[in-house]
Amino acid sequence: MIQKKLTRLTAFILSLVLLASVLFLFSSCAKTTKDIAIIYTNDIHAGAEDNLGLATVAALKKDTIAEGYDTLLIDSGDLIQGSMFGTISKGKDMINLLDSCGYDIATLGNHDFDFGAGNILTLAKEAKCEYVCCNLKDLQTGEYPFEPYVIKEIGGRRIAFVGIVTPETITASTPVYFKNENGEFIYDFCQGENGSRLYSRVQEVVDKARAEGVDYVIAISHLGSKDSSGVYRASCVAENTSGIDVFIDGHSHTVIESETVRNSKGKDVIITQTGTKLQFIGRLTISQKGEIKTELIGEYNRKDKTVEELVGAVKNKFSSKMGEVIGHTDFALPIYDEDGSRVVRTYETGIGDFVADAYRTVLDADIAIVNGGGVRTTIDAGDITYEELMNVHPFGNTVAKIKVTGKTLADMLEFSVKNYPKEHGGFLQVSGISFMVDVTVDSIAEVDENGMMMPIGEGDRRVQSILVNGEALDPEKIYTIASTDYILLNNGDGYVIDNEGIVKVDDMTDLDVLVRYLKEYLGGVMPDKYSNLYGENRIVILK
Protein backbone atom coordinates (compact mmCIF):
# COMPACT_ATOMS: atom_id res chain seq x y z
CA MET A 1 0.00 0.00 0.00
CA ILE A 2 2.81 2.40 0.92
CA GLN A 3 4.62 1.49 -2.30
CA LYS A 4 1.49 2.29 -4.28
CA LYS A 5 1.14 5.69 -2.67
CA LEU A 6 4.80 6.49 -3.37
CA THR A 7 4.35 5.47 -7.01
CA ARG A 8 1.33 7.75 -7.33
CA LEU A 9 3.18 10.61 -5.63
CA THR A 10 6.16 10.13 -7.94
CA ALA A 11 3.87 10.14 -10.98
CA PHE A 12 2.15 13.30 -9.72
CA ILE A 13 5.49 15.05 -9.19
CA LEU A 14 6.69 13.98 -12.63
CA SER A 15 3.51 15.32 -14.19
CA LEU A 16 4.03 18.63 -12.41
CA VAL A 17 7.61 18.79 -13.69
CA LEU A 18 6.39 17.98 -17.20
CA LEU A 19 3.68 20.65 -16.99
CA ALA A 20 6.19 23.22 -15.73
CA SER A 21 8.51 22.36 -18.61
CA VAL A 22 5.73 22.79 -21.15
CA LEU A 23 4.71 26.10 -19.60
CA PHE A 24 8.32 27.25 -19.63
CA LEU A 25 8.75 26.32 -23.29
CA PHE A 26 5.45 28.02 -24.16
CA SER A 27 6.49 31.12 -22.24
CA SER A 28 9.86 31.16 -23.98
CA CYS A 29 8.22 30.87 -27.38
CA ALA A 30 5.76 33.64 -26.55
CA LYS A 31 8.59 35.95 -25.61
CA THR A 32 10.62 35.21 -28.73
CA THR A 33 11.54 38.47 -30.40
CA LYS A 34 12.22 39.28 -34.02
CA ASP A 35 14.07 42.16 -35.61
CA ILE A 36 11.75 45.12 -36.13
CA ALA A 37 11.87 47.62 -38.99
CA ILE A 38 9.96 50.90 -39.11
CA ILE A 39 10.08 52.58 -42.50
CA TYR A 40 9.34 56.30 -42.37
CA THR A 41 8.73 59.36 -44.51
CA ASN A 42 7.97 63.02 -43.85
CA ASP A 43 7.07 66.16 -45.81
CA ILE A 44 6.17 64.28 -48.99
CA HIS A 45 4.16 67.38 -50.02
CA ALA A 46 2.17 65.40 -52.59
CA GLY A 47 5.41 64.44 -54.37
CA ALA A 48 4.05 61.04 -55.31
CA GLU A 49 6.61 60.49 -58.07
CA ASP A 50 9.35 62.91 -56.97
CA ASN A 51 12.83 61.56 -56.22
CA LEU A 52 12.40 57.99 -54.91
CA GLY A 53 8.61 58.12 -55.28
CA LEU A 54 5.80 56.36 -53.44
CA ALA A 55 6.14 53.21 -55.55
CA THR A 56 9.64 52.80 -54.10
CA VAL A 57 8.33 53.29 -50.56
CA ALA A 58 5.84 50.48 -51.10
CA ALA A 59 8.51 48.20 -52.59
CA LEU A 60 10.86 48.87 -49.69
CA LYS A 61 8.21 47.85 -47.20
CA LYS A 62 7.53 44.58 -49.01
CA ASP A 63 11.24 43.82 -49.38
CA THR A 64 11.91 44.57 -45.72
CA ILE A 65 9.17 42.13 -44.72
CA ALA A 66 10.70 39.54 -47.06
CA GLU A 67 14.04 40.02 -45.29
CA GLY A 68 12.40 38.72 -42.11
CA TYR A 69 11.68 41.96 -40.28
CA ASP A 70 8.38 42.64 -38.57
CA THR A 71 7.66 45.90 -40.37
CA LEU A 72 5.59 49.07 -40.08
CA LEU A 73 5.36 52.08 -42.41
CA ILE A 74 4.71 55.55 -40.97
CA ASP A 75 4.57 59.19 -42.07
CA SER A 76 5.28 62.36 -40.09
CA GLY A 77 2.97 64.84 -41.82
CA ASP A 78 2.66 67.35 -44.67
CA LEU A 79 1.49 64.69 -47.05
CA ILE A 80 -1.44 66.11 -49.04
CA GLN A 81 -0.28 69.55 -50.26
CA GLY A 82 2.41 70.52 -52.72
CA SER A 83 1.64 69.30 -56.24
CA MET A 84 -1.22 68.34 -58.53
CA PHE A 85 -1.44 64.99 -56.73
CA GLY A 86 -2.79 66.89 -53.72
CA THR A 87 -4.06 70.25 -54.94
CA ILE A 88 -6.68 69.16 -57.46
CA SER A 89 -8.42 66.64 -55.19
CA LYS A 90 -7.68 68.60 -52.00
CA GLY A 91 -5.69 65.69 -50.69
CA LYS A 92 -8.04 62.81 -51.43
CA ASP A 93 -5.79 61.30 -54.11
CA MET A 94 -2.80 61.40 -51.77
CA ILE A 95 -4.70 59.67 -48.97
CA ASN A 96 -5.70 56.93 -51.42
CA LEU A 97 -2.07 56.53 -52.49
CA LEU A 98 -1.00 56.46 -48.84
CA ASP A 99 -3.34 53.53 -48.28
CA SER A 100 -2.17 51.73 -51.43
CA CYS A 101 1.43 51.85 -50.15
CA GLY A 102 0.46 50.11 -46.94
CA TYR A 103 1.08 52.93 -44.48
CA ASP A 104 0.19 51.87 -40.95
CA ILE A 105 0.38 55.10 -38.91
CA ALA A 106 0.63 58.83 -39.68
CA THR A 107 0.39 62.17 -37.97
CA LEU A 108 -0.70 65.61 -39.18
CA GLY A 109 1.53 68.35 -40.57
CA ASN A 110 0.74 72.06 -40.64
CA HIS A 111 0.27 72.09 -44.43
CA ASP A 112 -2.19 69.22 -44.25
CA PHE A 113 -4.64 71.90 -43.06
CA ASP A 114 -4.14 74.09 -46.15
CA PHE A 115 -7.41 72.95 -47.74
CA GLY A 116 -9.33 73.59 -44.52
CA ALA A 117 -9.31 72.02 -41.07
CA GLY A 118 -12.51 70.08 -41.73
CA ASN A 119 -11.05 68.64 -44.93
CA ILE A 120 -8.01 66.99 -43.36
CA LEU A 121 -9.88 65.88 -40.25
CA THR A 122 -12.32 64.02 -42.51
CA LEU A 123 -9.65 62.58 -44.82
CA ALA A 124 -7.51 61.39 -41.93
CA LYS A 125 -10.42 59.57 -40.35
CA GLU A 126 -11.31 57.95 -43.68
CA ALA A 127 -7.75 56.71 -44.25
CA LYS A 128 -6.97 53.04 -43.68
CA CYS A 129 -3.82 53.94 -41.78
CA GLU A 130 -4.23 55.18 -38.22
CA TYR A 131 -3.73 58.91 -37.66
CA VAL A 132 -2.51 59.93 -34.21
CA CYS A 133 -2.08 63.40 -32.74
CA CYS A 134 -1.82 64.23 -29.05
CA ASN A 135 -1.88 68.05 -29.08
CA LEU A 136 -4.76 69.03 -31.39
CA LYS A 137 -7.79 69.91 -29.28
CA ASP A 138 -11.30 70.99 -30.26
CA LEU A 139 -12.06 73.86 -27.88
CA GLN A 140 -15.78 73.66 -28.58
CA THR A 141 -16.11 70.09 -27.29
CA GLY A 142 -13.00 69.87 -25.13
CA GLU A 143 -12.11 66.67 -26.96
CA TYR A 144 -9.06 65.61 -28.95
CA PRO A 145 -10.17 64.64 -32.49
CA PHE A 146 -7.55 61.89 -32.76
CA GLU A 147 -6.14 59.24 -30.47
CA PRO A 148 -2.94 60.62 -28.93
CA TYR A 149 -1.07 57.37 -29.53
CA VAL A 150 -1.48 53.84 -30.79
CA ILE A 151 0.24 50.73 -29.45
CA LYS A 152 1.46 48.11 -31.90
CA GLU A 153 2.57 44.62 -30.85
CA ILE A 154 5.33 43.77 -33.27
CA GLY A 155 8.38 41.54 -33.16
CA GLY A 156 7.36 40.27 -29.73
CA ARG A 157 7.40 43.78 -28.26
CA ARG A 158 4.92 46.58 -27.64
CA ILE A 159 5.63 49.97 -29.17
CA ALA A 160 3.62 53.15 -28.58
CA PHE A 161 3.55 55.69 -31.41
CA VAL A 162 2.72 59.22 -30.20
CA GLY A 163 1.62 61.84 -32.75
CA ILE A 164 2.71 65.48 -32.32
CA VAL A 165 2.01 68.39 -34.70
CA THR A 166 3.76 71.73 -34.39
CA PRO A 167 1.91 74.48 -32.51
CA GLU A 168 3.14 76.73 -35.33
CA THR A 169 0.30 75.22 -37.37
CA ILE A 170 -2.05 78.09 -36.48
CA THR A 171 0.05 80.61 -38.40
CA ALA A 172 1.93 78.19 -40.67
CA SER A 173 -1.33 77.09 -42.26
CA THR A 174 -4.31 79.48 -42.51
CA PRO A 175 -5.36 80.93 -39.12
CA VAL A 176 -8.95 81.58 -40.21
CA TYR A 177 -9.43 77.81 -40.64
CA PHE A 178 -9.07 77.42 -36.89
CA LYS A 179 -11.63 80.11 -35.96
CA ASN A 180 -15.41 80.28 -35.77
CA GLU A 181 -17.61 82.89 -37.44
CA ASN A 182 -16.93 85.29 -34.55
CA GLY A 183 -13.17 85.16 -35.12
CA GLU A 184 -12.57 83.06 -32.00
CA PHE A 185 -10.09 80.18 -32.10
CA ILE A 186 -11.87 76.84 -31.86
CA TYR A 187 -8.77 74.63 -32.15
CA ASP A 188 -5.76 74.52 -29.86
CA PHE A 189 -2.32 73.04 -30.52
CA CYS A 190 -0.85 73.48 -27.00
CA GLN A 191 0.89 76.66 -28.10
CA GLY A 192 2.29 79.38 -25.87
CA GLU A 193 3.83 79.53 -22.40
CA ASN A 194 7.33 79.16 -23.86
CA GLY A 195 6.67 75.58 -24.90
CA SER A 196 5.65 74.31 -21.47
CA ARG A 197 2.05 73.53 -22.51
CA LEU A 198 3.29 71.31 -25.32
CA TYR A 199 5.88 69.60 -23.13
CA SER A 200 3.29 68.91 -20.42
CA ARG A 201 0.81 67.42 -22.86
CA VAL A 202 3.42 65.21 -24.50
CA GLN A 203 4.68 64.02 -21.09
CA GLU A 204 1.13 63.26 -19.96
CA VAL A 205 0.53 61.11 -23.03
CA VAL A 206 3.90 59.34 -22.86
CA ASP A 207 3.38 58.51 -19.17
CA LYS A 208 -0.01 57.03 -20.01
CA ALA A 209 1.48 54.91 -22.79
CA ARG A 210 4.30 53.73 -20.53
CA ALA A 211 1.75 52.75 -17.89
CA GLU A 212 0.30 50.30 -20.42
CA GLY A 213 3.54 48.36 -20.33
CA VAL A 214 5.14 49.29 -23.64
CA ASP A 215 8.74 48.48 -24.43
CA TYR A 216 9.40 51.57 -26.56
CA VAL A 217 7.82 54.95 -27.27
CA ILE A 218 8.36 56.52 -30.67
CA ALA A 219 7.19 60.06 -31.39
CA ILE A 220 5.84 60.60 -34.90
CA SER A 221 6.38 64.34 -34.79
CA HIS A 222 5.99 67.27 -37.14
CA LEU A 223 8.08 69.77 -35.18
CA GLY A 224 11.27 70.47 -37.13
CA SER A 225 14.85 71.37 -36.32
CA LYS A 226 15.12 74.95 -37.61
CA ASP A 227 15.88 77.71 -35.12
CA SER A 228 12.80 79.53 -36.40
CA SER A 229 10.63 76.89 -34.72
CA GLY A 230 12.05 77.97 -31.37
CA VAL A 231 10.80 76.09 -28.33
CA TYR A 232 8.67 73.77 -30.47
CA ARG A 233 11.65 72.02 -32.11
CA ALA A 234 11.86 68.26 -31.72
CA SER A 235 15.09 68.64 -29.76
CA CYS A 236 13.40 71.01 -27.30
CA VAL A 237 10.48 68.64 -26.75
CA ALA A 238 12.93 65.77 -26.27
CA GLU A 239 15.02 67.71 -23.75
CA ASN A 240 11.98 68.71 -21.72
CA THR A 241 10.30 65.31 -21.52
CA SER A 242 11.24 61.74 -20.69
CA GLY A 243 10.16 58.31 -21.85
CA ILE A 244 10.48 58.82 -25.62
CA ASP A 245 13.12 56.71 -27.37
CA VAL A 246 13.00 58.19 -30.88
CA PHE A 247 11.55 61.22 -32.66
CA ILE A 248 10.73 60.43 -36.28
CA ASP A 249 10.34 64.06 -37.23
CA GLY A 250 9.27 66.40 -40.03
CA HIS A 251 8.42 70.05 -40.77
CA SER A 252 11.84 71.59 -41.41
CA HIS A 253 12.71 69.48 -44.48
CA THR A 254 16.02 68.62 -42.84
CA VAL A 255 18.09 65.55 -43.68
CA ILE A 256 19.01 63.95 -40.33
CA GLU A 257 20.07 60.31 -40.34
CA SER A 258 20.57 60.16 -36.58
CA GLU A 259 21.01 62.93 -34.06
CA THR A 260 21.15 62.30 -30.31
CA VAL A 261 19.99 64.62 -27.53
CA ARG A 262 19.53 64.04 -23.80
CA ASN A 263 16.05 64.00 -22.34
CA SER A 264 15.03 65.54 -19.01
CA LYS A 265 16.41 62.51 -17.16
CA GLY A 266 19.72 62.45 -19.01
CA LYS A 267 18.87 59.54 -21.33
CA ASP A 268 19.69 59.56 -25.03
CA VAL A 269 16.91 60.23 -27.53
CA ILE A 270 17.37 59.75 -31.28
CA ILE A 271 15.99 62.33 -33.75
CA THR A 272 15.76 61.57 -37.46
CA GLN A 273 14.21 63.20 -40.54
CA THR A 274 14.22 62.40 -44.29
CA GLY A 275 14.23 65.84 -45.97
CA THR A 276 11.30 66.48 -48.30
CA LYS A 277 9.55 65.04 -51.34
CA LEU A 278 11.04 61.59 -50.80
CA GLN A 279 14.68 62.65 -51.13
CA PHE A 280 15.30 59.80 -48.71
CA ILE A 281 13.30 57.04 -47.10
CA GLY A 282 14.09 56.30 -43.47
CA ARG A 283 14.39 52.88 -41.89
CA LEU A 284 14.60 52.39 -38.13
CA THR A 285 15.53 48.95 -36.89
CA ILE A 286 15.28 47.43 -33.44
CA SER A 287 17.35 44.28 -33.05
CA GLN A 288 16.39 41.30 -30.93
CA LYS A 289 18.83 42.66 -28.34
CA GLY A 290 17.02 46.01 -28.33
CA GLU A 291 19.59 48.02 -30.28
CA ILE A 292 18.00 50.94 -32.14
CA LYS A 293 19.51 52.17 -35.40
CA THR A 294 18.27 54.64 -38.03
CA GLU A 295 19.40 54.94 -41.64
CA LEU A 296 18.40 57.03 -44.66
CA ILE A 297 18.04 55.30 -48.01
CA GLY A 298 18.77 57.57 -50.97
CA GLU A 299 18.94 54.98 -53.73
CA TYR A 300 16.70 51.97 -54.31
CA ASN A 301 16.13 50.23 -57.61
CA ARG A 302 12.74 48.60 -57.10
CA LYS A 303 9.23 49.98 -57.45
CA ASP A 304 5.92 48.42 -56.56
CA LYS A 305 4.10 48.02 -59.87
CA THR A 306 0.60 48.36 -58.42
CA VAL A 307 1.41 51.66 -56.70
CA GLU A 308 3.30 52.86 -59.77
CA GLU A 309 0.20 52.24 -61.91
CA LEU A 310 -2.05 54.03 -59.40
CA VAL A 311 0.28 57.06 -59.38
CA GLY A 312 0.21 57.01 -63.18
CA ALA A 313 -3.58 56.84 -63.23
CA VAL A 314 -3.87 59.91 -61.00
CA LYS A 315 -1.38 61.78 -63.14
CA ASN A 316 -3.15 60.83 -66.38
CA LYS A 317 -6.41 62.36 -65.17
CA PHE A 318 -4.82 65.79 -65.45
CA SER A 319 -1.86 65.22 -67.79
CA SER A 320 -3.06 67.31 -70.72
CA LYS A 321 -3.61 70.37 -68.54
CA MET A 322 -0.50 69.83 -66.46
CA GLY A 323 1.71 69.55 -69.52
CA GLU A 324 0.48 72.77 -71.11
CA VAL A 325 3.48 75.03 -71.82
CA ILE A 326 2.86 78.52 -70.41
CA GLY A 327 6.24 80.05 -71.21
CA HIS A 328 9.98 79.61 -71.34
CA THR A 329 12.99 80.67 -69.28
CA ASP A 330 16.68 80.53 -70.21
CA PHE A 331 17.65 80.39 -66.53
CA ALA A 332 16.46 78.77 -63.34
CA LEU A 333 14.60 80.72 -60.65
CA PRO A 334 15.63 78.92 -57.44
CA ILE A 335 14.24 79.14 -53.93
CA TYR A 336 17.40 77.61 -52.41
CA ASP A 337 20.94 78.89 -52.16
CA GLU A 338 24.05 76.74 -52.61
CA ASP A 339 23.96 75.25 -49.11
CA GLY A 340 20.33 74.17 -49.49
CA SER A 341 18.82 76.91 -47.30
CA ARG A 342 15.41 78.20 -48.33
CA VAL A 343 16.73 81.65 -49.20
CA VAL A 344 13.26 82.78 -50.28
CA ARG A 345 12.37 82.89 -46.57
CA THR A 346 15.30 85.13 -45.66
CA TYR A 347 16.26 87.36 -48.60
CA GLU A 348 14.79 88.95 -51.67
CA THR A 349 14.97 86.49 -54.57
CA GLY A 350 14.49 86.57 -58.31
CA ILE A 351 11.58 84.13 -58.09
CA GLY A 352 10.07 86.21 -55.29
CA ASP A 353 10.29 89.32 -57.47
CA PHE A 354 8.56 87.42 -60.30
CA VAL A 355 5.72 86.23 -58.11
CA ALA A 356 5.20 89.61 -56.37
CA ASP A 357 5.27 91.43 -59.71
CA ALA A 358 2.58 89.06 -60.95
CA TYR A 359 0.21 90.10 -58.16
CA ARG A 360 0.90 93.82 -58.55
CA THR A 361 0.54 93.75 -62.32
CA VAL A 362 -2.49 91.48 -62.70
CA LEU A 363 -4.40 93.12 -59.82
CA ASP A 364 -3.24 96.65 -60.75
CA ALA A 365 -2.09 97.65 -57.26
CA ASP A 366 0.47 100.13 -55.91
CA ILE A 367 2.30 97.38 -54.05
CA ALA A 368 2.29 93.61 -53.88
CA ILE A 369 3.64 91.22 -51.30
CA VAL A 370 4.01 87.46 -51.16
CA ASN A 371 5.13 85.42 -48.17
CA GLY A 372 8.35 83.52 -48.81
CA GLY A 373 6.78 80.36 -47.39
CA GLY A 374 4.17 80.58 -50.15
CA VAL A 375 6.79 80.19 -52.89
CA ARG A 376 7.28 76.46 -52.72
CA THR A 377 9.64 75.32 -55.44
CA THR A 378 12.23 76.32 -58.03
CA ILE A 379 11.33 77.06 -61.65
CA ASP A 380 13.87 75.18 -63.76
CA ALA A 381 15.41 76.47 -66.98
CA GLY A 382 13.49 75.47 -70.12
CA ASP A 383 9.80 75.32 -70.88
CA ILE A 384 7.55 76.32 -67.98
CA THR A 385 4.46 74.12 -67.74
CA TYR A 386 1.19 74.65 -65.95
CA GLU A 387 2.22 71.95 -63.49
CA GLU A 388 5.49 73.71 -62.69
CA LEU A 389 3.67 76.94 -61.84
CA MET A 390 1.20 74.93 -59.75
CA ASN A 391 4.12 73.52 -57.80
CA VAL A 392 5.29 77.09 -57.07
CA HIS A 393 1.80 78.00 -55.80
CA PRO A 394 0.00 74.75 -54.85
CA PHE A 395 -2.33 76.22 -52.23
CA GLY A 396 -5.32 77.31 -54.26
CA ASN A 397 -5.59 80.60 -52.32
CA THR A 398 -7.74 83.28 -53.87
CA VAL A 399 -6.28 86.72 -54.48
CA ALA A 400 -7.24 90.04 -52.94
CA LYS A 401 -6.52 93.76 -53.04
CA ILE A 402 -7.01 96.02 -50.05
CA LYS A 403 -6.28 99.57 -48.95
CA VAL A 404 -3.79 100.21 -46.15
CA THR A 405 -2.10 103.22 -44.63
CA GLY A 406 1.62 103.76 -44.98
CA LYS A 407 1.91 103.12 -41.24
CA THR A 408 0.26 99.71 -41.58
CA LEU A 409 2.55 98.86 -44.47
CA ALA A 410 5.63 99.82 -42.44
CA ASP A 411 4.41 97.62 -39.58
CA MET A 412 3.99 94.67 -41.95
CA LEU A 413 7.52 95.07 -43.25
CA GLU A 414 8.92 95.21 -39.70
CA PHE A 415 7.02 92.04 -38.83
CA SER A 416 8.37 90.42 -42.00
CA VAL A 417 12.03 90.71 -40.96
CA LYS A 418 11.65 90.12 -37.22
CA ASN A 419 13.25 86.66 -37.36
CA TYR A 420 16.20 87.52 -39.59
CA PRO A 421 18.64 85.77 -40.07
CA LYS A 422 16.45 82.79 -39.20
CA GLU A 423 14.09 81.46 -41.83
CA HIS A 424 10.60 82.90 -41.62
CA GLY A 425 7.71 81.74 -43.80
CA GLY A 426 6.27 85.23 -43.40
CA PHE A 427 9.33 86.96 -44.87
CA LEU A 428 7.85 89.16 -47.61
CA GLN A 429 8.93 89.22 -51.21
CA VAL A 430 7.77 92.59 -52.58
CA SER A 431 6.87 94.57 -55.69
CA GLY A 432 6.49 98.34 -56.07
CA ILE A 433 8.42 98.96 -52.90
CA SER A 434 12.04 98.95 -51.67
CA PHE A 435 13.64 99.28 -48.24
CA MET A 436 16.71 98.62 -46.13
CA VAL A 437 16.98 96.32 -43.13
CA ASP A 438 19.42 97.18 -40.33
CA VAL A 439 19.92 93.86 -38.58
CA THR A 440 22.04 95.45 -35.85
CA VAL A 441 18.71 96.71 -34.47
CA ASP A 442 16.57 94.25 -32.50
CA SER A 443 13.12 94.09 -34.05
CA ILE A 444 10.30 95.52 -31.95
CA ALA A 445 7.73 93.28 -33.67
CA GLU A 446 6.17 90.75 -31.29
CA VAL A 447 3.59 87.97 -31.42
CA ASP A 448 0.95 86.78 -28.97
CA GLU A 449 0.63 83.21 -27.65
CA ASN A 450 -1.04 82.13 -30.90
CA GLY A 451 1.79 83.54 -33.00
CA MET A 452 -0.33 86.46 -34.18
CA MET A 453 1.18 89.88 -34.88
CA MET A 454 0.75 92.36 -32.03
CA PRO A 455 0.45 96.14 -32.52
CA ILE A 456 3.87 97.70 -33.09
CA GLY A 457 4.62 100.71 -30.93
CA GLU A 458 7.36 103.30 -30.85
CA GLY A 459 11.05 102.46 -30.96
CA ASP A 460 13.95 101.87 -33.32
CA ARG A 461 13.02 99.70 -36.27
CA ARG A 462 14.97 97.37 -38.49
CA VAL A 463 13.17 98.51 -41.63
CA GLN A 464 14.35 101.88 -42.89
CA SER A 465 14.31 104.08 -46.02
CA ILE A 466 11.04 102.72 -47.38
CA LEU A 467 10.24 103.82 -50.92
CA VAL A 468 6.97 103.19 -52.73
CA ASN A 469 7.51 103.30 -56.47
CA GLY A 470 10.51 105.53 -55.90
CA GLU A 471 8.90 107.94 -53.43
CA ALA A 472 9.30 108.03 -49.65
CA LEU A 473 6.58 106.18 -47.77
CA ASP A 474 3.91 108.49 -46.34
CA PRO A 475 2.54 107.01 -43.08
CA GLU A 476 -0.81 108.76 -43.60
CA LYS A 477 -1.27 107.98 -47.28
CA ILE A 478 -3.57 105.19 -48.48
CA TYR A 479 -1.98 102.58 -50.74
CA THR A 480 -3.48 99.59 -52.54
CA ILE A 481 -1.78 96.31 -51.86
CA ALA A 482 -2.24 92.98 -53.66
CA SER A 483 -1.57 89.47 -52.40
CA THR A 484 -3.46 86.34 -51.45
CA ASP A 485 -6.43 86.34 -49.11
CA TYR A 486 -4.22 84.13 -46.92
CA ILE A 487 -1.98 87.07 -46.02
CA LEU A 488 -4.29 90.07 -46.44
CA LEU A 489 -7.50 88.76 -44.88
CA ASN A 490 -6.90 85.42 -43.16
CA ASN A 491 -3.96 86.17 -40.82
CA GLY A 492 -1.58 83.95 -42.76
CA ASP A 493 1.86 83.66 -41.09
CA GLY A 494 0.41 85.66 -38.21
CA TYR A 495 -0.19 88.93 -40.08
CA VAL A 496 -2.93 91.07 -38.52
CA ILE A 497 -3.62 93.82 -41.06
CA ASP A 498 -5.87 96.79 -40.38
CA ASN A 499 -7.28 97.59 -43.79
CA GLU A 500 -8.94 100.82 -44.88
CA GLY A 501 -11.22 98.98 -47.25
CA ILE A 502 -11.32 95.80 -49.35
CA VAL A 503 -11.05 96.67 -53.02
CA LYS A 504 -11.66 93.15 -54.30
CA VAL A 505 -11.49 89.48 -53.45
CA ASP A 506 -11.18 87.81 -56.82
CA ASP A 507 -12.14 84.30 -57.91
CA MET A 508 -8.67 83.98 -59.40
CA THR A 509 -6.35 81.67 -57.52
CA ASP A 510 -2.71 82.31 -56.73
CA LEU A 511 -1.84 79.94 -59.59
CA ASP A 512 -4.08 81.84 -62.04
CA VAL A 513 -2.12 85.03 -61.31
CA LEU A 514 1.21 83.41 -62.21
CA VAL A 515 -0.20 81.88 -65.39
CA ARG A 516 -1.76 85.16 -66.55
CA TYR A 517 1.31 87.25 -65.77
CA LEU A 518 3.72 84.97 -67.61
CA LYS A 519 1.44 84.25 -70.54
CA GLU A 520 -0.34 87.58 -71.11
CA TYR A 521 1.91 90.26 -69.64
CA LEU A 522 5.34 88.77 -70.34
CA GLY A 523 4.45 87.10 -73.62
CA GLY A 524 5.57 83.73 -72.31
CA VAL A 525 9.22 84.77 -71.95
CA MET A 526 10.88 85.14 -68.55
CA PRO A 527 12.82 88.44 -68.58
CA ASP A 528 16.45 88.64 -67.46
CA LYS A 529 15.58 90.88 -64.50
CA TYR A 530 14.55 87.75 -62.59
CA SER A 531 17.79 85.86 -63.29
CA ASN A 532 19.64 86.96 -60.13
CA LEU A 533 19.09 84.61 -57.19
CA TYR A 534 19.03 87.63 -54.85
CA GLY A 535 16.75 89.78 -56.98
CA GLU A 536 16.97 93.48 -57.86
CA ASN A 537 17.98 95.03 -54.52
CA ARG A 538 14.41 95.81 -53.55
CA ILE A 539 15.39 94.59 -50.07
CA VAL A 540 18.88 95.57 -48.92
CA ILE A 541 20.21 93.90 -45.77
CA LEU A 542 22.60 96.17 -43.84
CA LYS A 543 24.97 94.10 -41.72
Residue that finishes a domain, picked among 249, 275, 309: 309
Instruction: Please tell me whether residues 371 and 472 are part of one structural domain.
Output: yes
Instruction: Please tell me whether residues 204 and 337 are part of one structural domain.
Output: no
Distance CA 18, CA 534 (A): 80
Q: Strand pairing partners for 501?
A: 403
β-strands 463-468, 433-438 pairing: antiparallel
Overall domain count for the chain: 2
Q: Are 91 and 348 in contact (CB under 8 A)?
A: no
Query: What is the span of the domain harbouring residue 151?
Result: 33-309
Query: What DSSP line would sit under 306-372, residue for residue?
Result: HHHHHHHHHHHHHHHHHT-EEEEESS-B-SS-TTS--GGGTS--HHHHHHHHHHHHHHT-SEEEEEG
Instruction: Please tell me whether residues 364 and 300 are part of one structural domain.
Output: no
Residue 103 neighbours by CB under 8 Å, 6+ apart: 73, 74, 75, 127, 128, 129
Q: What is the mean pLDDT of each run of 10 residues along the chain (543 residues)?
A: 50 51 43 86 94 97 96 96 87 95 97 91 94 96 96 96 95 83 90 93 98 98 90 96 98 94 97 96 96 96 96 89 93 92 95 97 95 94 95 88 96 95 93 96 90 90 96 97 92 92 83 93 97 96 88
Q: What is the DSSP letter of 454?
A: P
Is 21 within the bounds of a domain? no
- Predicted model pTM: 0.78
State which amino acid sits at residue 44. Answer: I
CATH code for the domain of 236? 3.60.21.10
Q: How far is the CA of 166 from the CAs of 118, 204, 538, in angstroms? A: 18, 17, 33
Instruction: Please tell me whether residues 72 and 154 are part of one structural domain.
Output: yes
Instruction: Please tell me whether residues 126 and 212 are part of one structural domain.
Output: yes
Is 341 within the bounds of a domain? yes
Q: Tell me what pLDDT residue 94 has.
A: 95
Is 121 within the bounds of a domain? yes
Q: Tell me what pLDDT residue 487 has.
A: 93
Long-range CB pairs of 336-341 (<8 Å, 24+ gap) are: 336/378, 337/533, 341/423
Q: Tell me what pLDDT residue 27 has.
A: 43
Q: Tell me what pLDDT residue 136 has.
A: 96
Q: What are phi and psi of 353, to 5 degrees?
A: -60, -45
Q: CA 490 from chain center: how many Å?
A: 19
Instruction: Please tell me whether residues 263 and 357 are part of one structural domain.
Output: no
Instruction: Please tell me whether residues 337 and 277 are part of one structural domain.
Output: no
CATH code for the domain of 537? 3.90.780.10
Instruction: Please tell me whether residues 299 and 342 are part of one structural domain.
Output: no
Residue that finishes a domain, picked among 309, 339, 369: 309
Q: Tell me what pLDDT residue 101 has.
A: 97
Is 417 within the bounds of a domain? yes
3-state secondary structure (DSSP) of residue 128 = coil
Instruction: Please tell me whether residues 135 and 278 are part of one structural domain.
Output: yes
3-state secondary structure (DSSP) of residue 297 = strand
Instruction: Please tell me whether residues 106 and 143 are part of one structural domain.
Output: yes
Instruction: Please tell me whether residues 204 and 142 are part of one structural domain.
Output: yes
Q: Tell me what pLDDT residue 543 has.
A: 78
Instruction: Please tell me whether residues 296 and 357 are part of one structural domain.
Output: no
